[in-house]
Amino acid sequence: MGYRLAELAAQVGGRVEGDPERIIEAIRPLESAGPRDLSFLKDPRYRGQAAASGAGALLVGLSLVDAVPGRDLLVADDPSWALARLLAVLHPEERRPPGVHPTAILEPGAEVDRQAHVGPYAVIGAGSRVAAGAAVLAFVAIGRDCVVGEGAVLHPHAVLYDRTEVGARSVVHSGAVLGADGFGYATHQGAHHKVPQVGRVVLEEDVEVGAGSTIDRAMLGETRIGVGTKIDNLVQVGHNVVTGRHCILCGQAGIAGSARLGNYVVLAGQSGVAGHIELGDGAQVAAKSAALASVEPRTQVAGIPAVEMRRWRRQVALLSRLEEIVRRLRAVEKKVGEER
């Protein structure tokens, strides 16, 4: 199905420069786009590729309106958001048909709304509820007394331990495990004794959990992931962690038990957060950094242990001069020794 360029612009509050009647059927990269495709230019370094592209129209931001003269343009205030919105329009995800596959196993007391989809070999434990429009895909394992909210999607081989709750429109990708035991042990007389983990995991609405990520259930109470938070692949969230709204946790980040993250916190790739500390609203931890102490709101930190970003940059600059400084210090020591 095609859309007029003017229709697409209206979808994102943008405007057209060029032919508003041009028909667009898909979004493709600059190098493979054709005359009925929309492509995008977000970085001026690629203006040469944009000029050579066979795309029928280009999505650009306000700063790049003049980058490729003579082309049909869809101009948006926020081109990244516009691209996301238009991808959903032009490449909609196929809706799974409602119904329960005959190979799925529903234990006694499990409830599946008639408008939900349950795929092959999925298992839904006793007392669990799957709401309207939710999709439980092949080989998903849902424990007892779980809740899968309206429109939520659980991809193949996702696992929900007992009492886990997944909010409306949330997405859990393949291999993710929600509600496994928190890592809690008491060492007594030289042996590690397991501390029972009797809490649960709650994902609020519009959360996304990447493939292979794990969110441990609380020892007591809840491990809770706030509304709109997005978790990348291979992220570890420890027991009793609480995140605020709209956090971003990038790949291989790790959060130790009982840490608290405010709203809009960002953890870059392979960063770590120590247990029992708090990251304020809007705090950011740089890649491969370790926040070992609490971080003030709207503060960027980096390094191990993580310190305020400007301080870390000064430390790195000094470290690069360390050999020179040591050489000069030895020369001074030698000179002083000779003078004595």
* Helix (H), strand (E), coil (C) string for 225-289: ECCCCEECCCCEECCCCEECCCCEECCCCEECCCCEECCCCEECCCCEECCCCEECCCCEECCCC
245 and 115 in a single domain? The answer is yes
Instruction: Dig out the tokens for 114 from the structure.
Output: 């008639």
Residues marked as catalytic:
239
The rounded distance, in Å, linking the Cα atoms of 127 and 160 is 13
Q: What is the CATH number of the domain that holds 237?
A: 2.160.10.10
User: For residues 45 and 72, what is the distance between their CA atoms, to the nearest angstrom?
Assistant: 19
In a domain, 325, yes or no: no
318 inside domain: no
Q: What is the pLDDT of residue 1?
A: 76
pLDDT tens for 236-295 read 999 999 999 999 999 999 999 999 999 999 999 999 999 999 999 999 999 999 999 999
277 and 162 in a common domain = yes
Residue 240 lies in a domain: yes
Low-confidence ranges of the chain (pLDDT < 70): 340
Q: State the Cα angle at 248 between 274 and 45, rounded to 5°.
A: 125
Same domain, 209 and 62: no
- In this prediction, residue 340 carries a pLDDT of 67
Same-domain pairing of 128 and 198: yes
> Does one domain contain both 181 and 305?
yes
- Provide the number of structural domains found in the chain: 2
Over residues 120-131, the pLDDT tens digits come to: 999 999 999 999
293 neighbors 308 (Cβ within 8 angstroms):
no
Residues 32 and 109 in one domain: no
| CB atoms closer than 10 angstroms to residue 323 | 9
Mean pLDDT of the chain: 96
* Same-domain status, 235 and 123: yes
Residue 327 lies in a domain: no
DSSP 112-180: E-TT-EE-TT-EE-TT-EE-TT-EE-TT-EE-TT-EE-TT-EE-TT-EE-TT-EE-TT-EE-TT-EEEE
| Shared-domain flag, residues 85 and 110 | no
**Rounded distance between C-alpha atoms, residue 217 and residue 240, angstroms:** 7
Statement to judge: residues 77 and 208 lie in one domain: no
Domain contains 326: no
- Name the residue range of residue 233's domain: 99-312
Burial class of 271 by CB neighbour count within 10 A (0 to 12, 13 to 18, 19+): buried
Task: State whether 226 and 298 are in the same domain.
Answer: yes
Q: Is 74 exposed, middle or buried (0-12, 13-18, 19+ CB in 10 A)?
A: buried
pLDDT at 289: 98
